[in-house]
Structure 1
Amino acid sequence: MTATTETQTSETAAVSIRGLSKVFGDRAVIDGLDLDIRPGEFVALLGRSGCGKSTLLRILAGLDSEIDGLATVPRRRAVAFQAPRLMPWKRVWHNVVLGLPGRPDRALAQRYLDEVGLSAKTTVWPKTLSGGEAQRVSLARALVREPELLLLDEPFGALDALTRVKAQQLVADLWARHRCAVLLVTHDVEEALLLADRVLVMDGGVIAHEVTVALPRPRPIDHPTLVRLRTELLGRLGIVEPDRHASVD
């Protein structure tokens, strides 16, 4: 088995995956997968539950090295999960710089908390934060590492609808500012189309389908191109929407 490599292969690929396989018991969750992500590219990954999306993300994050094949990623990478995973006994700023080498740098933490709109929350305890605020702290903790690859595993899944929209816009703004490569794992087709340059569908352990979203941001979800792509992607996911124009007897 070949562990994930931490050396970027070229200036044209932030992520390069060749023949990647991951087996649980006698089941191949990932089965000979190939994928490239360009530097600065925003990619969204869709798929049915259990198709291996989060497994792939964990491999790219270096959290699972029991693989076959080759996955080449940048050394500087960071992950934000659906659960913010903040340490309740450390103040917010300390959570942001947790794990960085050297003495905890409050000024550095403050800089990234400012970026995510939490300037006033630097010294509070995590338990005082709302769900959206805690997720923004998680984003600040990822960005403080100045990643070349940002991995987002359903980061908005536990948020209410309004907070989710605000969090999506924040991620779009942060990506435009930092221009790191992003891989977003999500179940939300509209979210993928609003945020990503390219949307992938994972099925059968491989990338089974992909679409390019060649539209400027911000994108209205009722744009004809997005409506068409949404229908295409839902079909690939096995979801057929009812015909809204069909007559009712």
Structure 2
Amino acid sequence: MTTYATTPAAPDPAAPLRKGPAAHDGTAVHVRGLVRAFAGRRVIDGLDLDIRPGEFVALLGHSGCGKSTLLRILAGLDRDIEGAVTVPRRRAVAFQAPRLLPWKRVWRNVVLGLPGRADRVLAERYLAEVGLGQRASVWPKTLSGGEAQRVSLARALVRRPDLLLLDEPFGALDALTRSTAQRLVGELWARHDCAVLLVTHDVEEAVLLADRVLVMRDGGIAHEAAVDLPRPRDIGAPPFVALRTALLAQLGVGATGPAAADATA
């Protein structure tokens, strides 16, 4: 049996303020017994997942483990599934490739797909949030990689999502641009009070941004770690390093394996 349901969108607050996961009731994402198979091979096999409203969750795992498949299912882009999936009606996705239409100005890319007449004022408001208020009229080909990714984030946020899905959005960026983009995402999450699922290969990025880090293996969630560290986070602090090391071990990096990582955590 397959159930794919969406919860009603919450009313837009005039001035959203982040209250944190503990201030919310209910669940933004509820997944039970999820199965997704390709040519008879189960990439996702009986997966269970809950994400609280306003919670930032990072998902780690080796290539091919089903991370992006799970994200596409939550986005509603793949419904050939078994199990039960409940997600907010209002959700948005930012992929690793910005996927901007080159024949439309930047501001038009931001409001692309929204109902009604294209609203430039609305587009410029969200471009300003990502630091591109002065680039609304340019063509996408004039943007740097980091700028294009920020436009992609603006396009996601303009939909006022209750669930923001990020599929390795910083993977193609250089180290300095990536660091700036990570900081921006943290600020936007705090401002917009939405649940976030970040798919990433970068363990440090996961610990830097998330409230909770999940490791996906064998078609399910094999390990879960709460990130109870104050923000902004110091990547050199011993608790940060210890958690990063334990997660790397869960991924098979280093001398220890998953069992040792569980003991460390």
The alignment's TM-score, normalised by the length of structure 1, stands at 0.95
User: 1: CA distance between counterparts of 2:110 and 2:253?
Assistant: 39
Shift of 1:56: 0.1
**Partner of residue 65 from structure 1, selected from 64, 79, 82:** 79
User: 2: CA distance between counterparts of 1:66 and 1:156?
Assistant: 28
User: 2: CA distance between counterparts of 1:225 and 1:195?
Assistant: 15
1:207 aligns with 2:250: no
Aligned residue number for residue 153 of structure 2:
139
Q: Give the root-mean-square deviation of aligned CA atoms.
A: 1.3
Aligned residue number for residue 208 of structure 2:
194
Aligned residue number for residue 95 of structure 1:
109
1:49 aligns with 2:63: yes
Aligned length: 241
Aligned residue number for residue 184 of structure 2:
170
Q: Secondary structure at 1:109's aligned position in 2?
A: helix
Matches within 5 A, 1:64-143: 64-143=78-157
Shift of 1:106: 0.3
Q: Is the 8 A contact 1:77 1:150 kept in 2?
A: yes
**Partner of residue 220 from structure 1, selected from 234, 241, 247:** 234
- Relative distance call for 1:241 and 1:173 in structure 2 (3 A) is farther
Q: Secondary structure at 1:6's aligned position in 2?
A: strand
**Partner of residue 33 from structure 1, selected from 29, 47, 66:** 47
The residue type equivalent to 2:232 in the other structure is P
Q: Is the 8 A contact 1:4 1:60 kept in 2?
A: no
Deviation per residue, 1:21-60 (Å, 9 max, x gap): 0000121000000010000000000000000000000000
Aligned residue number for residue 7 of structure 1:
7
Shift of 1:2: 1.8
User: 2: CA distance between counterparts of 1:152 and 1:217?
Assistant: 20
Q: Is the 8 A contact 1:78 1:143 kept in 2?
A: yes
User: 1: CA distance between counterparts of 2:26 and 2:170?
Assistant: 29
Shift of 1:217: 1.0
Shift of 1:12: 1.5
In structure 1, list runs of 5 or more residues that go unmatched: 243-249
Q: Secondary structure at 1:4's aligned position in 2?
A: strand
Deviation per residue, 1:107-141 (Å, 9 max, x gap): 00000000000011000000000000000000000
**Partner of residue 184 from structure 1, selected from 198, 212, 217:** 198
Q: Is the 8 A contact 1:43 1:196 kept in 2?
A: yes
Q: Secondary structure at 1:73's aligned position in 2?
A: strand
Once the two structures are overlaid, the 10-residue window that deviates more, 213-222 or 140-149, is 213-222
Q: Is the 8 A contact 1:4 1:59 kept in 2?
A: no
The residue type equivalent to 1:82 in the other structure is Q
User: 1: CA distance between counterparts of 2:255 and 2:138?
Assistant: 45
User: 2: CA distance between counterparts of 1:208 and 1:231?
Assistant: 16
Identity rate, percent = 74
User: 2: CA distance between counterparts of 1:241 and 1:155?
Assistant: 30
In structure 2, list runs of 5 or more residues that go unmatched: 9-23, 257-265
- Relative distance call for 1:194 and 1:241 in structure 2 (3 A) is farther
Q: Secondary structure at 2:102's aligned position in 1?
A: coil
